[in-house]
Structures are given as C-alpha cells and as structure tokens.
Amino acid sequence: MKNNLNSPLPISVTCPACGMLCDDLSLNDITPVSIKNGCAKSIAFFEQSFKSSNESACTPSLSGKPTDLNTAIKAAAEILAKSQAPLFAGLGTEVQGMRAIMRLAEKSNATLDHMHSESTVRNTLTMQNGGWLTTTLSEIKNRADVILAIGTDIGSSHPRFFEKLVWDSANLFNKPSSEVIYLGVSEENAKSGTSPNGKPASIIGNDPSKVPEIINALNALLINKKINTETIGSISVVTLQALVEKLKTARYAVIVWSASSFKFSHAELTIQSIVQLINQLNETTRAAGLPLNSGDGDSSVNNTSAWLSGYPTRNRFVNGKPEYDNYHFSTQKQLQNSDALLWISTFNPLSPPQTTLPSIVIGHPDTKLDSTPDVFIPVGIPGVDHAGTMFRMDSSITLPLKKLRNNELPNLSEVINRIEAELA
C-alpha cells in the first residue's frame, strides 16, 4: 500500500479525530504530516493513518494466516451463519458504515454496543429520565458569555474548542470572549482554558470526585436553600454562592461535561443534577448544556442506530424486532451470553476485548491484535481511505469526510454488505 494521494496537495480536509469535526484543515504534506489548522490530536491521527502503509497491512487473515478478501468474507459469514446470538461491538465507524452494520445486525439477530457506551449511557439515562436542554457549537460561539466546564478541561479531548468557539472574535453578534470557569479540574489540566493573551480560566475545586456533592449544593443554593456548613467538597459555600450568582446573571451560560471523565459510580445522577441546574437557571435567564462525546464515531453510530431502530446502541434485533437494554446489552455482559463476536474499529487500531468466542475483527489496517481472531479484515480509515459522513458532537449537523488516498483497502460498508450477501 502506498500513500497515493487522491488529489494534489494541499487538500482541504475534515478531521474525524474528535467530535469538533473541524472542516477548516488543509493537508499540506504527509512526510512528515503537515496540516494547516491541525491540532496535536489531528496531526497524531493523520500521522497514524498515513503510516499504515506496508503491504501486509492490506492483507486479511484467517487465524493469523494471510488470505484473500473473498475467503475472509466467506469465513466471517460462516461464523455469523452458525451463530444464534452474535455481539457486534467496538463499532468505531461513521454513518455509512453503521447503516451497513445495522442491516447485518438485523439479518443475524445481533446485539450492538459501541465501545464508548459506558459513558454515553450515562447521558442517555438522563435524557430518557426527563429530557434535557442542550446547545450547539454555533450557539456557544455566537451567544455564550459564561462557560462552566465540569470535571473536564475540554481541551484535552477537544483541542480546538476554545480557539474556535471562545477566542475567535468572528462571531455573529460581536460579543466578547466567554468567561471560562473550571469546576473539579486539576490545575495542571486547566491550561487549555488559558486565553491567547494569557488570561487563565477560573478554577473552582480541583478534585473531580467531589463534583456530585458540589453540583447538588449549587442546585440547593440556586433555589435559595440554606446550607448549614462552611464547605462542600472542600470549596467554601461563599465561593459556590458566587458561582451561582455568576450563572444567574449570565445572559447565556453553557455548562459542559464529559460523561467519560466522571469516574464515580452512578454518574448519571450527577448528570441529572447538572440538567436540573440548567433547567432551574432557565426560569430567569438562558442556559444550556453541552455533553462532550467520547470519540470513535460514537455520535454518528448512536444517531444512525436511533433513526434506524428507535434506539441508540446497546440494542439488538430479535427476528427483525429491535430491543434495547442499556445494562444487559453491554459488551462486558454480552461476551458472556453471545456465541460470536464481530469487533469493528476503523478510526483507531484498537484490539477487541479478550474472548474465547469465535471472533471476526474488521478494522484499522494497523490494528495490533492482542490475540489472534478467526478472521481479520483490514479496512480503510474513514476520512483518509474513503469518503463518509459524521455527526458533529452536538448532533446538529453532519459533515462529509473525504477520500484522501488511493489503495487496495475495501471500506467497511463494502465488507459488511458482502458478508450480508453471503448470509442471504
């Protein structure tokens, strides 16, 4: 496989490396990778993608032995044909890939679970419980005057968030940059919120594990409850009261959280509490939430799953009828109950979980497998080897991914469609 570029450099690209889906990048060179407007995360993604260039990376294998694509597809179909209850996990793909997976899942009575569902489910439980009021990246750029980031510095996972949505003065209403406040973020992680002119983000509390009690206290203070203690979660009540006043007087406060950074049990209750805070603020002013996504196409996969089956992942098909169970249909649980595993990871070379089940891995050409699956089929990387479509993390728009280079790698939907055809 050579890095045969599909068009001459520079090439404008959309970056699929995080949920921001920045579409203002320009790929200027690939040896070494040089990208205008690319952040460190995007450069790492494209470096990883362009480095997957040896011939063996294109070759499918059966139990570790090289084979051709036809044979690998037939072997994968045989595993699924024998299976009564396969698990399709990982699901690191974009919209077209997920559409194909959904058809195959329906035909094979498969359970579907995205690799980041453990985090996504915390948000889903909150949304199912009572709805929520969230916003879009455009609204943040054009209207937000206060951004409260809870338990996340935002910049580590979504590196250009501040550059594009806070410090870019080219917004619709000529508003000043939003004030950034971190809650429960350690000082060393809080640097990404420092503005280009050196103004650091405000930091309230640096212990993420204290976030649940602090959010509950903010809710109490917001409805004028008296708190009979001087500190909550090592933060003085006076400081928390000042934060509540800041949110109340903001014209458009945005509260950002990342479900994957909440490393405490029942994090969904804390997200519910954040949503309650947002709802209460809307009694007198305007406020909205922004849940950060976890990556590997999670927003695209769950939206596609929801519009095709009525449910996000952790769903399954039984004789064509979709079912949903965000507890029992987790990968961890289904590895005990399924009789075959199909693992998919096309953006990143991620190995499947350890299992003794018959297994098929379809993924990134550089996948370093921890154990040898029955079938391995390398496929193209979306936004590099083939075109595609992705949902931005706010689910408000989809953006097209480009094919940047020519090679022999099939794309995921072709492979899945051919497996499905074998099952017919």
Residue ranges that bind ligand SF4, judged by CB under 6 A: 15, 17-18, 20-22, 38-39, 41-42, 158-160
The distance of Cα 181 from the centroid of its chain, to the nearest Å, equals: 23
**Cβ closest to ligand SF4, residue 19 vs residue 86:** 19
Q: How far is the CB of 295 from ligand SF4 (least distance, A)?
A: 9
**Cβ closest to ligand SF4, residue 67 vs residue 157:** 157
Residue 384 C-beta-side C-alpha neighbours within 13 Å: 30
Q: How far is the CB of 81 from ligand SF4 (least distance, A)?
A: 39
**Cβ closest to ligand SF4, residue 14 vs residue 270:** 14
With vertex at residue 39, the alpha carbon angle to CA 35 and CA 44, rounded to the nearest 5 degrees, is: 80
Q: How far is the CB of 193 from ligand SF4 (least distance, A)?
A: 15
**Cβ closest to ligand SF4, residue 78 vs residue 163:** 163
3-state SS of 309-337? HCCCCCEEEECCEEEECCCCCCHHHHHHH
CA distance 179 to 186: 18
**Cβ closest to ligand SF4, residue 18 vs residue 350:** 18
**Cβ closest to ligand SF4, residue 46 vs residue 376:** 46
**Contact between 351 and 368 (Cβ < 8 Å):** yes
Q: How far is the CB of 49 from ligand SF4 (least distance, A)?
A: 12
Stretch (H or E) spanning 35:
strand 33-36
Largest CA distance in the chain: 71
3-state SS of 188-251? HHHHHHCCCCCCCCEEECCCHHHHHHHHHHHHHHHCCCCCCCCEECCEEHHHHHHHHHHHHHCC
**Contact between 1 and 55 (Cβ < 8 Å):** yes
**Contact between 74 and 419 (Cβ < 8 Å):** no
Q: How far is the CB of 15 from ligand SF4 (least distance, A)?
A: 3
Q: How far is the CB of 165 from ligand SF4 (least distance, A)?
A: 10
**Cβ closest to ligand SF4, residue 20 vs residue 58:** 20
**Contact between 128 and 335 (Cβ < 8 Å):** no
CA distance 235 to 260: 23
**Cβ closest to ligand SF4, residue 42 vs residue 261:** 42
SS3 of 142, please?
helix
CA distance 295 to 46: 15
The distance of Cα 266 from the centroid of its chain, to the nearest Å, equals: 20
Q: How far is the CB of 312 from ligand SF4 (least distance, A)?
A: 22
**Cβ closest to ligand SF4, residue 22 vs residue 69:** 22
Q: How far is the CB of 241 from ligand SF4 (least distance, A)?
A: 35
Q: How far is the CB of 371 from ligand SF4 (least distance, A)?
A: 30
